[in-house]
Amino acid sequence: MSTIKVDTYLTRGGASEIAIDKLKGASSAGSMTVVGEGGSTTTNLQQGLCKCWLLVAADGASILDSLNVSSIDDDGNGDGGVHINNDMGSVNYVIQLTADDGASGSSVNSIEVTNGTVAAGSFDYENNYVNSVENRVAFNVIRHIAVLGDLA
Domain boundaries, the chain: 50-148
DSSP tag of 114: P
Residue pLDDT tens, the chain, 152 long = 688 888 777 777 777 677 777 777 776 677 788 787 888 888 777 777 899 999 998 888 899 999 999 999 988 777 899 999 999 999 999 999 988 776 555 556 677 898 889 999 999 998 776 555 444 454 567 889 999 998 98
Instruction: Give the model's pLDDT for residue 133.
Output: 45
Spatial distance between the Cα atoms of 81 and 7, rounded to a whole number of angstroms? 49
Q: How many residues does the chain have?
A: 152
pTM (predicted TM-score): 0.74
